[in-house]
């Protein structure tokens, strides 16, 4: 005889297009009946053959308002949309950014193709990029895609499905041309807006792999970073921690302002013209949540980053 199963788990197995978390909310809201009686305990044991009835409400309108903002769409189908995000664009509404975000733009663009994340017609943000970081970002358009992509991002490429790499311009040149930075990160106790390397109990493991691609007269270098973990500001904090903060990073590279005076004027102007730190999510690969097909995308450097790179190359030329 089959073993009894939790109610929320049984429903998630019966309806794989919906998340278990959504069924837990529906159960709590009295939308699920077992053998004709409303069930409010997601851990209720159910057996094969029992009658389960679920009232699935229509997806609610999104709380963030739709805004017609320009988007650079790299790929889109009924499950996912891949965006080449410009520097300066906030991904998700939050304190001080309740409009003008990527989410506002996606709600307007996707319209009825959003079938609902957790019962709300909104895009499923699987991963984020800092406001002033440019590059590739994938967003789910339904619960099933959101769940499948979240699993891939949680593994950070260890299972071979996910591929992400970043290009960055940093001050100086790391002594080793390739290396691994392993330093736990936590919210800074001195400045809550910043992340810091920490040994506190709340610190979370963070690992960054890097390769030096170009050396610009030992004054700066172009590096490629691959993340083994995905912490807030991870690349920016890790590179600053080893003495090579990103060019244009006013938050973590403030101590290198004097270095700007040592490079030619053209390079100084190119750094000043950057909208933020010189960090770009250049490649993104993942397994399509529906077909299982491997997808791979590359994003060209944004104009400001490209101009600075060309100027730095002229220094060492």
Q: Which residues are catalytic?
A: 130
Residue whose token pair is 């967003």: 139
Is residue 275 a contact partner of residue 88, using CB atoms and an 8 Å limit?
yes
Which backbone phi and psi does 80 adopt, to 5 degrees? Answer: -140, 160
Is residue 54 a contact partner of residue 26, using CB atoms and an 8 Å limit?
yes
* C-alpha distances in Å from residue 223, one per residue of 83, 217, 304: 23, 14, 17
Q: How far apart (Å, rounded) are the C-alpha atoms in residues 259 and 246?
A: 12
Which backbone phi and psi does 53 adopt, to 5 degrees? Answer: -120, 130
Q: How far apart (Å, rounded) are the C-alpha atoms in residues 54 and 51?
A: 10
Q: Is 175 exposed, middle or buried (0-12, 13-18, 19+ CB in 10 A)?
A: exposed
* C-alpha distances in Å from residue 43, one per residue of 24, 46, 173: 9, 9, 55
Q: Is 270 exposed, middle or buried (0-12, 13-18, 19+ CB in 10 A)?
A: buried
């Amino acid at each position: 005889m089959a073993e009894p199963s939790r109610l929320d788990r049984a429903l998630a197995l019966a309806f794989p297009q919906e998340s278990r978390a959504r069924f837990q909310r529906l159960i709590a809201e009295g939308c699920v009946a077992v053998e004709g009686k409303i069930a409010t305990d997601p851990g209720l044991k159910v057996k094969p053959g029992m009658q389960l009835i679920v009232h699935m409400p229509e997806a609610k309108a999104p709380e963030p308002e739709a805004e017609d903002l320009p988007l650079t769409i790299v790929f889109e189908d009924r499950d996912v949309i891949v965006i080449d995000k410009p520097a300066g664009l906030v991904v998700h509404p939050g304190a001080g950014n309740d409009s003008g975000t990527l989410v506002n733009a996606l709600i307007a663009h996707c319209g009825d193709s959003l079938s609902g994340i957790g019962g709300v017609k909104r895009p499923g943000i699987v991963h984020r990029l800092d406001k002033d970081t440019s590059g590739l970002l994938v967003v789910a358009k339904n619960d099933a895609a959101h769940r499948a992509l979240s699993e891939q991002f949680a593994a950070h490429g260890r299972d071979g499905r996910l591929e992400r790499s970043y290009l960055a311009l940093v001050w100086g040149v790391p002594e080793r041309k390739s290396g691994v930075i392993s330093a736990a990160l936590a919210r800074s106790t001195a400045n809550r807006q910043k992340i810091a390397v920490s040994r506190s109990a709340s610190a979370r493991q963070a690992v960054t792999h890097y390769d030096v691609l170009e050396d610009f007269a030992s004054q700066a270098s172009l590096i490629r970073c691959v993340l083994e973990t995905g912490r807030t500001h991870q690349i920016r904090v890790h590179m600053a921690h080893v003495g090579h903060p990103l060019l244009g990073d006013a938050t973590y590279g403030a101590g290198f302002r004097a270095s700007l005076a040592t490079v030619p004027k053209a390079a100084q102007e190119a750094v000043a013209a950057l909208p933020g730190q010189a960090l770009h999510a250049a490649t993104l690969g993942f397994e399509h949540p529906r077909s299982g097909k491997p997808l791979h995308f590359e994003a060209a450097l944004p104009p400001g980053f490209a101009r600075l790179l060309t100027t730095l190359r002229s220094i060492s030329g």
